[in-house]
C-alpha cells in the first residue's frame, strides 16, 4: 500500500513539474546552440544539473535528454519557428516565480561549461530572461566567479 502511495505521489509530482522540465530543456537547447555547436562539456554539465536540481530529480535523465535532443533538432531544422515555440514554453512558467528564477542559473551553468561566455550566449541568456520576465542583471557573469 505504501509503495502504491509513493508511486502516485511521484506521478503527481512529475505531472506538476512537466512544464518546468520542458522549459528547462528548451532554455538548455537554446543555450547549448547559442555559439553554433554543442560542447561535450555542456552535455556533462547538463547531466550534473539533472542529478542535482530538485524539481528534475523525479525524471529519468534519459527522458530529459530525449526532450533536449528533440528541441535541438527542432532548432536546427526549423530555426525561428522552433525558437518561438521554445520561448513560449518559457513564458508558460514565468508566473511560477520560483521555477522561473532557476532557469537562468541553469543557462549560465551551461554557458560557462567551456569557460567562455560569448556574445551570442549572452544574447540567448537575455532572451531567455525576457521570456521569463526576469532581469538578467540579477544573475552573475558565470566566467567571473
pLDDT tens digit sequence for 7-63: 444 444 444 678 989 999 999 999 999 988 898 999 999 999 888 887 777 778 888
Quick check: 5 pLDDT over 50?
Answer: no
pLDDT one-digit tens code per residue, 86-145: 999 999 999 999 889 999 999 999 998 888 889 999 999 999 999 999 999 887 776 655
Report the alpha-carbon distance of residue 27 to residue 32 in Å, rounded: 9
Cα(116)–Cα(104) distance, rounded to whole angstroms?
Answer: 16
Phi, psi of 143 (to 5 degrees): -95, -5
CA distance 40 to 23: 21
pLDDT tens-digit series, residues 66-101: 999 999 999 999 999 999 999 999 999 999 998 899
Amino acid at each position: 500500500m505504501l509503495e502504491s502511495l509513493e508511486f502516485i505521489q511521484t506521478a503527481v509530482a512529475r505531472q506538476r513539474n512537466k512544464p518546468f522540465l520542458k522549459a528547462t530543456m528548451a532554455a538548455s537547447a537554446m543555450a547549448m546552440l547559442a555559439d553554433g555547436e554543442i560542447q561535450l562539456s555542456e552535455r556533462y554539465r547538463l547531466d550534473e544539473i539533472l542529478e542535482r536540481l530538485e524539481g528534475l530529480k523525479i525524471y529519468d535523465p534519459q527522458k530529459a535528454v530525449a526532450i533536449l535532443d528533440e528541441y535541438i533538432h527542432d532548432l536546427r531544422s526549423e530555426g525561428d519557428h522552433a525558437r518561438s515555440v521554445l520561448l513560449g514554453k518559457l513564458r508558460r512558467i514565468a508566473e511560477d516565480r520560483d521555477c522561473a528564477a532557476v532557469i537562468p542559473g541553469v543557462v549560465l551553468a551551461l554557458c560557462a561549461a567551456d569557460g567562455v561566455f560569448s556574445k551570442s550566449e549572452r544574447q540567448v541568456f537575455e532572451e531567455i530572461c525576457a521570456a521569463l520576465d526576469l532581469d538578467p542583471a540579477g544573475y552573475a557573469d558565470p566566467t567571473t566567479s
